[in-house]
Each structure stands twice: as structure tokens, then as C-alpha cells.
């Protein structure tokens, strides 16, 4: 049994939307009160309050405030766990020497929503196709909200928990499904072995030279986004028109994000369906998109150019690619190989002689003294594919195992990075 999450869009009527807003406000009030209690207990008495201590007070809170009864005990407990997770993340960052980020008080407008952590207090009913109804509560006061969306897991999938979220004035419900292993399986249509290099000029380049164009959703909408932001800058801060333009800007950002996510989903699904072995390199978008402004003592160079590159890196959605490939490859029985970028250096290594050939970012052709010439991204894809079939018993990705040119026939790979050993490749 596996868990999968799907998101449905809710279409509440005006009265139902107002009630959901009231419930969100009460959950936010509970969150802030619990945070204030923890802060005061530590400042005044040096005492740390646990999540269980605060959950034990919920019956008294519901006795004093009857409006909390309609929210459900499990949903209230989940809000307190949410605060406990925020403190756990705070202490983890403190121990790691990172910027801590102490949990903050939230306004009701910035409180995203609430959750039901188990199948109690709600019911999701599918009506065939994309239609569904979400029922929250029981009796005459229950809410029956129309929903739209579907999943591919069929009637065997059982809802386990839900999270209601408010984004840009619209309501969504994320449902966690318990799905049998057989239902999760994806049908694979091909048995190709491919290396792929993700980039900016072309979103993906394969070892055989095929490419996938980078749609550049953000660049297309930048003129419209800049116009809306200039209009808002001329309005009085906090005025009706200022808020109205802010909502339009938020909807535009949401549209860009939805188009990007849809594109990445479709392309990663196509990859795992066509390939029995898929090799790529480990990417770190957070590190790749660091600012170049430097410090006062050591200012950076070409800061504006690096800022534009960072925007394109983040717009390409590389941070979503590997997680999607990981779970889709497992479902399709595809072996996913992630090469260690720091050790293997795919963009600098020659796929023919395995020697390092230093290149600047502007050099888009790989020209090696051994005579091998290829487009830079295609050569990188070939390098990670060769690394996927490393047969040497060496640590890391086998860089030291290939000082000489490799033949095209390679044996079974050893799992040197995260991969799904469902299929046993017999050769490159």
C-alpha cells in the first residue's frame, strides 16, 4: 500500500465560502494563542510546553468557546501539530547553524488553511469523470461542497486525510490516497536507455541529440507582470485599487506556476514511459541560483547578469524534475540514475576519452584534444549515461575507474546513486 496525493478545486457557494473563512480564522486564532502560550511560558518560567500539553487543553477551550466545536477535535489537534513542526524546524536550523527563523504570529488572511489528519469528520464522494462532493461535518450543519478533479488510481484508492487550502481567493483540497501497489504501476511503452541533461537554452537534451524546447513561461509574461507592478506602485498603499492590483499580480504568478508544473509533469511522464534506464545528474537549484552581489568588502561582478540567469534557472522548474522522476520511475519500473555532479563534472568531461576539458559557460560546443566534438549539453548527457553503466567497484561515480576511452558494450550497473533496480540492463 502506497500513498499518493491529489488536489481538487472546490466551488463553494457564498455561504459555504464565508463559513470556510470563519473556520480558517478560528484555526489561525488557535495557532497564535498556542504560540503566545509557548513564548510566555519560556520567558516567565523557563518552561517548555509540548504539543500534547496544549492538546489536553482543547476540551476546556471548546467549553469556553462553543464556536470551536464545529471544527472537530482532530482538525484542532492538527493545527497544534503544525505549530509543533514549526518549532522543530526552528531548533533543527539552530543546531545546523542556519538562519533560524522563529515561528511567527499569522494574520487570518495569511493563514493558508487547515487539515483533517484522518478519515474522521469528512467524506469525499466521486461522481464519475471529474465531479466530486466534499462533505465536512455531520448532521444538519454539515457542508457539502462541489469539487472538480480526478485521479488515475480508480475505486481501489481510499482517502486517508485532507488539507483545505486557500489561494488567491480560491479553495482547494489536497487528498492523500492509500493506493495498492498494483494500482500505482504505470505502463511503459519503450525500453530505451537515455541520458538527459537539463539546461536553460534547451530544457532537456538527450544523448542522441534530441532536445525539448524551454517554454520560458515567466519571460513571456514579464512585460505584463511589469506593467501591473508599475500600476500598483502608483496607487496608495493599502487602498482598494492597490489590493485589487495585488490580486491580479498573484493570479498571474499562479498561472505561470500552473503552466510550468503542467509542462514538467507531462515531460517527466513521457520520459519514464519511453525509457527503461534514465540517467541524469544531481542538480542543486538553490546553489545554482545564489546571488552574485557579494559583500561590502568584496562586491560581486556582473550582478544584474547573474540575477537574470537565476530567474531563468528558477523559471525552468529544475527543483520539481527529480522528485517527479523519482516516484514516476518507481511506478513505471524505470531505473533512474543520478550522477554526482561534483565528482563526475558532466559539462567538463569528455564522453570519448573521459578527460576533463575546462569550458566557460559561454562555450556551447565540446571540443576535446582527442578529436571528439559534440554540442556541450549532448556530451553531458552521454557522460551521465556512461556513468549509469559503471561496472568498476569504486567509490562515488567511478571517475577514477575510466582513465581510458570506454567501449560501447557495458555490463550491469551497480547502484551508486538513487535508482529503481526494477529492470536489469544488459548493455548500453
Q: How far apart are CA 109 and CA 24, in angstroms?
A: 9
Q: What are phi and psi of 92, to 5 degrees?
A: -65, -40
DSSP 392-427: S--STTSGGG-SSPPPS---PPP--SS--TTS----
Q: How far apart are CA 200 and CA 213, in angstroms?
A: 9
With vertex at residue 9, the alpha carbon angle to CA 5 and CA 13, rounded to the nearest 5 degrees, is 140
**Closest to 281 in 3D by CA, of 333, 329, 344:** 344
Per-residue pLDDT of the chain (428 residues; tens, 9 = 90+): 889 899 999 999 999 999 999 999 999 999 999 999 999 999 999 999 999 999 999 999 999 999 999 999 999 999 999 999 999 999 999 999 998 999 999 999 999 999 999 998 899 988 877 789 999 988 888 999 999 988 888 888 899 999 999 998 899 999 999 998 888 888 888 889 999 999 999 999 999 999 999 999 999 999 999 999 999 999 999 999 999 999 999 999 999 999 999 999 999 999 999 999 999 999 888 888 888 888 777 888 888 898 999 999 999 999 999 999 999 999 898 999 999 988 899 999 999 998 999 999 889 999 999 999 999 999 999 999 999 987 554 333 333 334 344 443 344 334 344 444 444 444 43
Residues pairing with 6 in the sheet: 175
CB count within 10 Å of CB 8 equals 23
- In angstroms, the Cα distances linking 57 to 38, 68, 80 are 13, 13, 11
The answer to whether 404 and 375 have CB atoms below 8 angstroms apart is: no
Which grid coordinates belong to 97? 547553524
The answer to whether 417 and 338 have CB atoms below 8 angstroms apart is: yes
Amino acid at each position: 500500500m502506497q500513498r499518493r496525493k491529489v488536489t481538487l478545486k472546490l466551488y463553494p457557494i457564498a455561504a459555504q465560502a464565508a463559513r470556510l473563512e470563519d473556520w480558517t480564522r478560528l484555526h489561525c486564532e488557535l495557532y497564535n494563542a498556542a504560540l503566545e502560550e509557548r513564548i510566555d511560558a519560556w520567558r516567565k518560567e523557563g518552561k517548555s510546553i509540548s504539543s500534547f500539553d496544549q492538546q489536553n487543553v482543547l476540551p476546556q477551550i471548546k467549553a469556553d468557546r462553543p464556536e470551536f466545536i464545529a471544527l472537530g477535535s482532530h482538525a484542532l489537534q492538527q493545527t497544534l501539530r503544525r505549530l509543533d513542526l514549526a518549532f522543530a524546524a526552528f531548533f533543527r536550523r539552530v543546531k545546523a547553524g542556519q538562519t533560524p527563523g522563529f515561528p511567527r504570529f499569522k494574520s487570518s488572511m495569511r493563514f493558508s488553511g487547515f487539515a483533517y489528519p484522518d478519515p474522521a469528520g469528512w467524506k469525499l464522494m466521486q461522481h464519475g469523470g471529474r465531479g466530486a462532493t466534499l462533505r465536512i461535518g455531520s448532521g444538519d450543519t454539515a457542508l457539502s461542497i462541489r469539487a472538480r478533479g480526478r485521479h488515475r488510481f480508480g475505486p481501489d484508492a481510499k482517502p486517508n486525510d485532507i488539507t483545505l487550502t486557500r489561494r488567491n481567493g480560491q479553495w482547494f483540497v489536497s487528498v492523500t490516497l492509500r493506493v495498492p501497489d498494483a494500482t500505482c504501476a504505470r505502463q511503459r511503452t519503450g525500453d530505451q536507455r537515455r541520458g538527459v541533461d537539463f539546461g536553460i537554452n534547451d530544457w532537456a537534451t538527450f544523448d542522441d541529440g534530441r532536445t525539448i524546447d524551454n517554454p520560458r513561461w515567466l519571460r513571456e509574461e514579464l512585460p505584463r507582470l511589469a506593467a501591473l507592478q508599475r500600476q500598483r506602485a502608483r496607487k496608495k498603499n493599502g487602498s482598494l485599487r492597490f489590493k485589487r492590483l495585488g490580486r491580479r499580480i498573484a493570479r498571474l504568478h499562479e498561472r505561470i506556476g500552473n503552466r510550468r508544473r503542467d509542462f514538467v509533469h507531462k515531460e517527466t511522464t513521457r520520459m519514464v514511459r519511453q525509457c527503461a534506464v534514465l540517467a541524469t545528474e544531481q542538480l542543486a537549484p538553490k546553489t545554482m541560483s545564489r546571488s552574485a552581489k557579494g559583500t561590502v568588502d568584496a562586491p560581486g561582478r556582473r550582478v544584474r547578469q547573474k540575477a537574470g540567469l537565476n530567474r531563468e534557472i528558477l523559471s525552468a522548474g529544475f527543483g520539481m524534475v527529480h522528485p517527479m522522476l523519482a516516484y514516476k520511475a518507481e511506478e513505471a519500473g524505470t531505473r533512474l540514475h543520478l550522477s554526482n555532479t561534483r565528482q563526475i563534472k558532466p559539462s567538463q568531461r569528455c564522453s570519448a576519452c573521459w578527460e576533463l576539458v575546462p569550458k566557460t559557460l559561454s562555450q556551447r560546443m565540446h571540443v576535446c584534444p582527442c578529436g571528439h566534438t559534440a554540442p556541450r549539453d549532448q556530451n553531458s548527457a552521454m557522460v551521465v549515461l556512461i556513468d549509469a553503466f559503471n561496472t568498476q567497484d569504486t567509490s562515488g561515480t567511478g571517475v577514477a575507474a575510466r582513465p581510458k576511452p570506454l567501449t560501447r558494450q557495458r555490463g550491469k550497473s551497480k547502484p551508486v546513486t538513487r535508482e529503481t533496480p526494477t529492470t536489469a540492463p544488459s548493455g548500453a
